[in-house]
Each structure stands twice: as structure tokens, then as C-alpha cells.
């Protein structure tokens, strides 16, 4: 199974709010978890990368992984209009000698209202 579930939104919040984005998955072999940000008419860019369970913080962004619940989250503090984008979760089991690719969620469209 490779399915990853992600609410497509759109999610609209006022500037300065805390944003919570989430994905659930069914494959217990996934151990590499990523969040990509995609602006309109652009390719995705890596935002956060986490291995196994736990939290990772980078500036206003925090990624959380709960492997026991098969649930990952991305929190954005003090959200800015420039954070308006589509956020894609992605994950991999990291097997196959390097061949194993990423399974992406469908993406959540986030709108930060000024």
C-alpha cells in the first residue's frame, strides 16, 4: 500500500495565525517524511525533512511525525501572505537500494489573508 491522505483545502487563515497541515498514511514501512511547498506555476521545493518519528523545527516551521499513529504534521507560526502556496507531504520507505521513490499526498492549498 502506498496511499497518503491529505486534505486538499483550500485552507484560508488570517495573517499571523498558526497553521496546521496534516497527512495520514497506511504503509508502516515509511520512515522518511518530507514537506514540499509549491507556489503557483513553480516546481515543488523541499521545506522540511524528517527521518523516523519526532519533531524538527526550522524558524517558523515545525514538522512532527507520529509513526505509531501514521500521522505527520506541519505547523507554521506567525503565518505570512508569502506562505500562501500548496503544501505537499511526501514519504518513502527508503528501500530498494536507493530506487524507492516518494509517495506524495495530493497537497493542501493554503491561503494567508493579509
Partner 1 sequence: EAQVTQNPRYLITVTGKKLTVTCSQNMNHEYMSWYRQDPGLGLRQIYYSMNVEVTDKGDVPEGYKVSRKEKRNFPLILESPSPNQTSLYFCASSLFSGWDEQFFGPGTRLTVL
Contact residues for partner 1 (CB under 8 A)?
2, 6, 8, 32, 34, 36, 41-46, 49, 88, 90, 92, 94, 96, 98-102, 104-107
User: Residue 38 CB, nearest distance to partner 1 (Å)?
Assistant: 8
- Which neighbouring-strand residues pair with 66? 71
User: Residue 34 CB, nearest distance to partner 1 (Å)?
Assistant: 8
Task: State which residue, 79 or 89, has the beta carbon closest to partner 1.
Answer: 89
Instruction: Say which residue the cell 518519528 belongs to.
Output: 53
* Secondary-structure breakdown of the chain: helix, strand, coil percentages, each rounded to the nearest 5: 5, 55, 40
- Grid cell listed for 79: 503565518
C-alpha span between 49 and 94 (Å, rounded): 13
Task: State which residue, 60 or 106, has the beta carbon closest to partner 1.
Answer: 106
Amino acid at each position: 500500500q502506498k496511499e497518503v491522505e491529505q486534505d486538499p483545502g483550500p485552507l484560508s487563515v488570517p495573517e499571523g495565525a498558526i497553521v496546521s497541515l496534516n497527512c495520514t498514511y497506511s504503509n508502516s514501512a515509511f520512515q522518511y517524511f518530507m514537506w514540499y511547498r509549491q507556489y503557483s506555476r513553480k516546481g515543488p521545493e523541499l521545506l522540511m525533512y524528517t527521518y523516523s518519528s519526532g519533531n524538527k523545527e526550522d524558524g517558523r516551521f515545525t514538522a512532527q511525525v507520529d509513526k505509531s499513529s501514521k500521522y505527520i504534521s506541519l505547523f507554521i507560526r506567525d503565518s505570512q501572505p508569502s506562505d500562501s502556496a500548496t503544501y505537499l507531504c511526501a514519504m518513502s520507505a527508503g528501500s530498494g537500494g536507493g530506487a524507492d521513490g516518494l509517495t506524495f499526498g495530493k497537497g493542501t492549498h493554503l491561503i494567508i489573508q493579509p
